[in-house]
Amino acid sequence: MDKFNIGEGKDKILVSYPMAREDHHNLVMKSIEKFPKKEIVLLDNYYWKKRKSILKYKFRFPDIALLFKIWRKFKKEGAKKVFGKHFLYFLTRTYFRCKQIESLEEIYSRLKPRAHIAFCSQTFAEDTILALLSQKDGKPTFTLQHGLIVEYPYFTSQSILQENLVSDYSLVWGKKTAEVLEKYTDSSKIIVVGNPKYNIMEENKTNKFNPTTGTIFLPVIGTSSPSKKMLAILNNFAKNHPEIKFNLSLHPFDDIKNYSEIITATNLKYCPVKNVSETIKNSDFIVIHNTTIAIESLQYGKPIFRYSDDFLVKLWKNDDCFKSEKDLEKLFRKLNNPKKYLSWSKKYQKEFRENFYQPKEGTVSENYYKKVLEKIKDF
């Protein structure tokens, strides 16, 4: 249990985190930072999964009886006709998942938690398994929000996730997220608690648009055509604005090699971002397509330019969108008007309040603890 950074003690609130991503790990830790340490037990895979050494794994002789049982079940159901050449892959993946359930069931039985808080129980198997074990044991389960939750104009995996909420309760950032999820689940299962990373909106003291530095944030679907089309427009735009430095930030799952042929402007550079908040704060504007950073940027009231295509999600009034280099030029000229710049800042203030709930008393993390305790007592 030590290798997964699991604490000890029964009848505590079990919090699970399954990824090797630092930004999401920080979100989870900030969410629970005001929980009394004696009341939580943390199953944290972050540091173990981040290790690249093969020595972190242990060899175990295969459970032949289980493999044979799965093979017989597959054969009986005619799975080979369905999976074809991928039959062995699905056989071994099913075996792996069964062993994972056994392992987590053993951990759960040792801890006997009073409740479970998942990073994202509808996405990650570890979180899903622990949530289901908790529900089987009659304990309340919660899942955190870690990214943008909106209605998409096209079918996406997010649509499936929103329809298949596993945990009993969803702890969400604000009113807008709640409105989306209410279309898929009962409103009593949605708890608006805020985002612990964004407690207050910082005042933008700039009263005119005179940019010298901007940051381009590409979404997780980096190798798709929208990102490449957007970057091609921005590359030409950068050439016509040598006075502005354009920094390019990629999603952790992306690779700069996917865009090497597009980037030719000398003032457009790939700059790995370690701290998103600081990067936004130090930029005069940001450019995005579909990414959570859009609403995170609201905290600083900086201009946000969004690339518009058939895949664009509606976050607010689309008066900050562009489809071409010409459109972007118009937006830049429009913001040269101080009144227009001020109106955008006010719009962002309103959107910030709707996207990030601010508790009247205490911190956001204290609000998480309070709401979770209320539901545990009422469950």
Examine residue 146 and state whether it is found in any structural domain, yes or no: yes
What's the distance, Cα to Cα, between the start and end of the chain in Å?
29
Q: Are residues 297 and 371 in the same domain?
A: no
Examine residue 192 and state whether it is found in any structural domain, yes or no: yes
Examine residue 159 and state whether it is found in any structural domain, yes or no: yes
Q: Are residues 20 and 163 in the same domain?
A: yes
Q: Are residues 124 and 223 in the same domain?
A: no
Q: Are residues 179 and 254 in the same domain?
A: no
Question: Among the listed ranges 93-102, 275-284, 318-327, which one has the minimum average pLDDT value?
Answer: 275-284
Q: Are residues 192 and 277 in the same domain?
A: no
Q: Contact, 174 vs 354, CB < 8 A?
A: yes
Q: Domain holding 250: CATH number? A: 3.40.50.2000
Rounded to an integer, what distance in angstroms lies between the CA atom of residue 216 and that of residue 232?
Answer: 12
Examine residue 206 and state whether it is found in any structural domain, yes or no: no
DSSP state of 154: S
Taking only the tens place, the pLDDT of each residue in 121-136 is: 999 999 999 999 999 9
Q: Are residues 168 and 277 in the same domain?
A: no
Q: Are residues 110 and 221 in the same domain?
A: no
* Residue 206 phi, psi dihedral angles, 5° rounding: -75, 135
Examine residue 108 and state whether it is found in any structural domain, yes or no: yes
Question: Among the listed ranges 169-173, 223-227, 229-233, which one has the minimum average pLDDT value?
Answer: 223-227
In the block, tokens 């699991």 appear at 6
Q: Are residues 146 and 219 in the same domain?
A: no
Q: Are residues 370 and 338 in the same domain?
A: no
Q: Are residues 20 and 128 in the same domain?
A: yes
Examine residue 118 and state whether it is found in any structural domain, yes or no: yes
* Residue 276 phi, psi dihedral angles, 5° rounding: -60, -45
Rounded to an integer, what distance in angstroms lies between the CA atom of residue 267 and that of residue 270?
Answer: 10
- What total of structural domains would you count in the chain? 2
Rounded to an integer, what distance in angstroms lies between the CA atom of residue 170 and that of residue 365?
Answer: 15
Residue, of 209 and 277, whose pLDDT is higher? 209
Range of the domain at 294: 213-355
Question: Among the listed ranges 174-183, 220-229, 311-320, which one has the minimum average pLDDT value?
Answer: 220-229
Examine residue 204 and state whether it is found in any structural domain, yes or no: no
Phi-psi region of 51 (alpha: psi -120 to 50; beta: other; left: phi over 0): beta
Counted residue by residue, the chain has a size of 379
Can you state the percent helix, strand and coil of the chain, rounding each to 5?
45, 15, 40
Q: Contact, 223 vs 295, CB < 8 A?
A: no
Checking if the pLDDT of 222 tops 50, the result is: no
Q: pTM of the predicted model, to two decimals?
A: 0.86
Rounded to an integer, what distance in angstroms lies between the CA atom of residue 23 and that of residue 145?
Answer: 13
Q: Are residues 146 and 260 in the same domain?
A: no
Examine residue 220 and state whether it is found in any structural domain, yes or no: yes
**Sheet strands side by side (includes 190-192):** 40-44, 13-17, 115-118, 141-144, 169-172, 190-192
Q: Are residues 102 and 225 in the same domain?
A: no
Q: How many CB atoms lie within 10 A of CB 347?
A: 17
Q: How many CB atoms lie within 10 A of CB 307?
A: 26
Checking if the pLDDT of 318 tops 70, the result is: yes
Taking only the tens place, the pLDDT of each residue in 21-60 is: 888 999 999 999 999 999 999 999 888 888 777 777 778 8
Mean pLDDT computed over every residue of the chain: 89
Q: Contact, 231 vs 263, CB < 8 A?
A: yes
CA-angle at 14, arms to 181 and 138, nearest 5°: 70
Highest-confidence range of 9-13, 125-129, 250-254, by mean pLDDT? 125-129
